Structure 1
């Protein structure tokens, strides 16, 4: 897209009268042309998706609306009671997958067009062939929006329209550089059309005139409304609250290969803040996290641990070849750009003078520390960081305390390798939760 955003002194928008009830198999372009709409080059038509769906035979039988929503849903984004915000087959994130049960015969629902961009192309081409005009076409549907009450129309399909106006690299009226401004032109057009269209009035098509700069030249590469949908990598609000928690828990994986991309220390500290919300006995705080942010500290620790491990393996009678292989398998910590060593302290613990109760007391603190480590790992996943918890520091606690200059009462409880995953995680074998449950 090369056209700068042009400010017009005025434009007109009106609903197109005279359209008949749309039937399955109808040609929308021919129906519009038959109303003698007086279109000129540079006009933009805003077409309600419902009539496109009807023409494209998207009226389907369904036992109930929920069944149809299930069939059209790719991913549940958020759920509250009966309301579901989902990603549908068209890649749109919206309520109820866009399934419409209003103004349809009993036992049927209306689905969105299979490919709204392709629908817009067909209407545009049909109007060019029938009326000889170069117009833009936007297929619209009604959306709710995060943080805003009320509904408005947005573009779900487009042809011949500059759907986005990228102002980055320009300057504002005061000469300040624009570094993040990308305007959703197609959505602005859709909202303007919604002011004059109306379901009850039977006015499903509107025309905007006076904004020729938003209509793409025939030679421009086709860009549809799909360009308005954020990619997963750019979507900071991809999930609802409870869904985000479940996603972080279920999608967390042990990552053993990391890229060279540096780790944001702030992200690790936010994960620590999540870790220390874990439950603990006697209102204590048994967690300590040693963050190894310098290469020197990581190397000092890992070299000391390696030497201790080799000494243990030699005492066990392992061959030098076997020792070398085992040490190489432990390189997940050495290859990570960031390490954290969670430690347990038992400040505030009770001493009973009874082995059974003292053992149980320590176990309570161990469980609480484990809960903190799990919180930490899940929070790292929420920060889009990979991690691997490795238990090796528990086998040489004195060595770790000396290498990191830790107090004698800090018990290292493994180490966590942290970084950006070098490859997608492997699929985890499905586990039936019922196999781990006993009900009494």
Structure 2
């Protein structure tokens, strides 16, 4: 066990739930130290405890934890990695993460679940997203992703959820095997999560909580109706 891993274990042993919530940050620069696979497995286990509409559990996670698979992801995701160009500071810090998890939503799981007898009366099993108030397959996968982020924080490591580059989504899907077939609709990536040991002494990004004021809950909560304030 390395010194950094020992420190992470000490942090994990001493954190309460409130500590985990307050300590979670988007880490954008990582050391090359490997991540204990048990940390990733525990985070995935916690992620599957997220709530889901109809208990559809329409999420999936593609875990990239080898240099080859991580490099393949960044090659598909970024022009700089693809062309062999020099990545900027942000990208270089992110690409150093030894683990990337791609959370994916499975719309078909919801349509199938709501076609079952106890849910069919809702009329949401048709292949028409307009029947749904929102695409809960994406929302539920996002909640599962937050539990994964919190679990990584609990282990004393860093993580960052980020969106895929819009015009590179198809390239990422192809790289990860997320391709529709005649029999099955492929899961859809809602973003990606880097996991690793934070680089010591790094400061937050310009738009992070270290540089900008965090809005107090009393300014965003409204009792009874919008505009009433707290």
The TM-score with structure 1 as length reference comes to 0.39
Q: Could you tell me which of 69, 91, 94 is aligned with 1:333? A: 94
SS class of match (2:61): strand
**Where does residue 345 of structure 1 map in the other structure?**
106
Indicate whether 1:365 and 2:152 are aligned. no
Q: Could you tell me which of 195, 200, 206 is aligned with 1:418? A: 195
Indicate whether 1:238 and 2:10 are aligned. no
Give the whole-Å Cα distance in 2 for the aligned partners of 1:340 and 1:235.
23
Deviation of 1:431 after TM superposition, in Å, equals 3.3
**Where does residue 50 of structure 1 map in the other structure?**
none
**Where does residue 436 of structure 1 map in the other structure?**
220
**Where does residue 125 of structure 1 map in the other structure?**
none
Give the whole-Å Cα distance in 2 for the aligned partners of 1:434 and 1:365.
30
Asked if 2 retains the 8 angstrom alpha-carbon contact of 1:394 and 1:412, the reply is: no
When Rg is computed on C-alpha atoms for both structures, the one with the higher figure is 1
Unmatched runs of 5 consecutive residues or more in structure 1: 1-230, 312-323
Deviation of 1:236 after TM superposition, in Å, equals 5.7
Asked if 2 retains the 8 angstrom alpha-carbon contact of 1:281 and 1:368, the reply is: yes
Give the whole-Å Cα distance in 2 for the aligned partners of 1:236 and 1:309.
34
The 3 A distance-change label for structure 1 pair 234 and 270 is: closer
SS class of match (1:389): strand
Q: Could you tell me which of 22, 32, 37 is aligned with 1:265? A: 37
Deviation of 1:385 after TM superposition, in Å, equals 1.1
Asked if 2 retains the 8 angstrom alpha-carbon contact of 1:385 and 1:418, the reply is: yes
Asked if 1 retains the 8 angstrom alpha-carbon contact of 2:102 and 2:193, the reply is: yes
Asked if 2 retains the 8 angstrom alpha-carbon contact of 1:388 and 1:416, the reply is: yes
The 3 A distance-change label for structure 1 pair 308 and 286 is: farther
Deviation of 1:307 after TM superposition, in Å, equals 3.5
Write out per-residue CA displacement over residues 246-270 of structure 1, whole angstroms, 9 at most, x where no aligned residue: 2111110111111121101110110
Write out per-residue CA displacement over residues 48-94 of structure 1, whole angstroms, 9 at most, x where no aligned residue: xxxxxxxxxxxxxxxxxxxxxxxxxxxxxxxxxxxxxxxxxxxxxxx
Give the whole-Å Cα distance in 2 for the aligned partners of 1:235 and 1:351.
46
**Where does residue 160 of structure 1 map in the other structure?**
none
**Where does residue 377 of structure 1 map in the other structure?**
149
Following superposition of structure 1 onto structure 2, how do residues 138-177 of structure 1 map, counting pairs within 5 Å? none
Deviation of 1:393 after TM superposition, in Å, equals 5.4
The TM-score with structure 2 as length reference comes to 0.72
The 3 A distance-change label for structure 1 pair 354 and 257 is: closer
Name the structure, 1 or 2, with higher relative contact order (CA <8 Å, separation 6+). Answer: 2
Which structure has more strand as a fraction of its residues?
Answer: 1
Asked if 1 retains the 8 angstrom alpha-carbon contact of 2:11 and 2:155, the reply is: no
Q: Alignment length, in residue pairs?
A: 192
Give the whole-Å Cα distance in 1 for the aligned partners of 2:70 and 2:165.
13
Deviation of 1:234 after TM superposition, in Å, equals 3.8
The 3 A distance-change label for structure 1 pair 354 and 232 is: closer
Write out per-residue CA displacement over residues 14-66 of structure 1, whole angstroms, 9 at most, x where no aligned residue: xxxxxxxxxxxxxxxxxxxxxxxxxxxxxxxxxxxxxxxxxxxxxxxxxxxxx
**Where does residue 295 of structure 1 map in the other structure?**
67
Asked if 2 retains the 8 angstrom alpha-carbon contact of 1:344 and 1:412, the reply is: yes
**Where does residue 189 of structure 1 map in the other structure?**
none
**Where does residue 27 of structure 1 map in the other structure?**
none
Write out per-residue CA displacement over residues 185-244 of structure 1, whole angstroms, 9 at most, x where no aligned residue: xxxxxxxxxxxxxxxxxxxxxxxxxxxxxxxxxxxxxxxxxxxxxx997476424xxxx1
Unmatched runs of 5 consecutive residues or more in structure 2: 1-6, 112-123, 181-185, 225-230
Write out per-residue CA displacement over residues 384-412 of structure 1, whole angstroms, 9 at most, x where no aligned residue: 11011110256533211211223432111
Which structure has more helix as a fraction of its residues?
Answer: 2
Give the whole-Å Cα distance in 1 for the aligned partners of 2:169 and 2:47.
21
Write out per-residue CA displacement over residues 108-159 of structure 1, whole angstroms, 9 at most, x where no aligned residue: xxxxxxxxxxxxxxxxxxxxxxxxxxxxxxxxxxxxxxxxxxxxxxxxxxxx
